[in-house]
Amino acid sequence: MNKKKEDIYEGFEQGPIRPPSEANSLLIRLTRNCPWNNCTFCRVYKKRKFSLRSVENIIKDIDFLHDYITRIKQIVKPGGYSDSEVINTLYNSFQEKDRMAFNAAMNWYASGMKSIFLQDANSLIMKPDDLVVVLDHIRECFPDVDRITSYARSHTIVRIKQNDLQRISDAGLNRIHVGMESGSDTVLKKIRKGATKAVQIKAGLKVKEARMELSEYVMPGLGGIDYSIEHAMETASALNTINPHFIRLRTLAVTNGTALAVEARRGEFEKPTDAMMAKELRLFLESLDGINSYIKSDHILNLFETINGKMPEDKEKMIRIIDNFFELEPEKRILYQIGRRMGFFRGPEDMEGSPHLERVQQACSRYGVTPENIDSVINELMKRFV
């Protein structure tokens, strides 16, 4: 019998992205690309066709990783001491296509082997029975792992029966990252998210009911200037109903090659400036109420990386960081905006006495950054991080 193209095993695979919080996770690819691929701001999987991988091939990947980890454990002593010659000989004995799996195993071993992230954009689109088989196999091979996580679309989650979601959770998938982006129906429709506020809420509550941790990504700036207030308030309103374990901020960058960039060029979408975005974020934080989620600002695109804390006790502290930004003199504010994107500052409070201030000043004068052009400079800098 002829195998379908996607069923032919062509070696270990890894997808292009993972959430920032999964930097130390082992990446196991269950599906390729995004089955939706319509969000106007996203170019990650553009022009790439979605496909499911066969369970058989996913298991081959897991077995490869398990075999490499077993061999690495025999060579690398506890505490990290290794015989690098043996490691190099082993590495060189592999064919090029197998070295990716070996590198993944080495990196994971070095970072403590505590978490696994299932790629790509929406692993829950797999049949629940198949997903459970994969999760069972992961647990069998790596019983000491604390966390197995995946991205999933709200639209997909609401279509899964609750008892299937529970079976997936029981099999070991214990955290879901959802790209909510916005709670505003207007914004969700404009960005072609394929989910309404009601669907986002229903999906979030279903994940929690299945006793999985829920991480909701929101995207400051996505409503543009026109819908900035609605975006902030409706997103907070959706999250107040869901009360997810984590709310993660990932600021909008308008990147070339996206439908949103075309809209921006035509003047149909106007990205808020840093100052507008900071106001939007302040309103968003202020509007969060009655929840005990952790807020995480763990993306380089964010203007304030220090906005991290638990609701409700850290709410005022987080808002204070934004107020500190507005209290800066205009020239200092520019230095902060540029220094932040150069990776020198995490929050306005980092500027005081910073050894990097001079370098930021030099960069600003070299590139002629002024209050008039700061926003276009920032937009260009942000494109580099996407």
Residues that bind ligand SF4 (CB under 6 A): 34, 36-39, 42, 44-45, 121, 153, 179
CA distance 33 to 52: 9
- Cβ-based nearer residue to ligand SF4, 134 or 152: 152
For 96-110, letters b (16+ CB in 10 Å) and e give: eeeeebbebbbebbe
- Cβ-based nearer residue to ligand SF4, 153 or 341: 153
Three-state DSSP state, 324: helix
In 3D space, the residue among 229, 227, 205 whose CA is nearest the CA of residue 216 turns out to be 205
Helical residues (DSSP H) of 76-126, grouped into ranges: 84-93, 96-110
- Cβ-based nearer residue to ligand SF4, 106 or 382: 382
**How far apart are CB 267 and ligand SF4 at their closest, in Å?**
24
**How far apart are CB 359 and ligand SF4 at their closest, in Å?**
35
- The one-letter amino acid code at 238 reads A
- Cβ-based nearer residue to ligand SF4, 181 or 351: 181
CA distance 156 to 304: 32
What are the distances in angstroms from CA 136 to CA 40, 49, 71, 357?
A: 36, 28, 22, 52
CA distance 46 to 37: 7
- Cβ-based nearer residue to ligand SF4, 44 or 141: 44
- Cβ-based nearer residue to ligand SF4, 3 or 49: 49
**How far apart are CB 108 and ligand SF4 at their closest, in Å?**
24
> Using N-to-C axis directions, what is the helix angle for 55-75 and 128-141, rounded to 10°?
10
In 3D space, the residue among 372, 378, 339 whose CA is nearest the CA of residue 355 turns out to be 339
Residue 30: CB atoms within 10 Å: 25
**How far apart are CB 383 and ligand SF4 at their closest, in Å?**
17
**How far apart are CB 40 and ligand SF4 at their closest, in Å?**
9
**How far apart are CB 104 and ligand SF4 at their closest, in Å?**
21
CA distance 113 to 185: 40
- Cβ-based nearer residue to ligand SF4, 250 or 340: 250
**How far apart are CB 38 and ligand SF4 at their closest, in Å?**
6
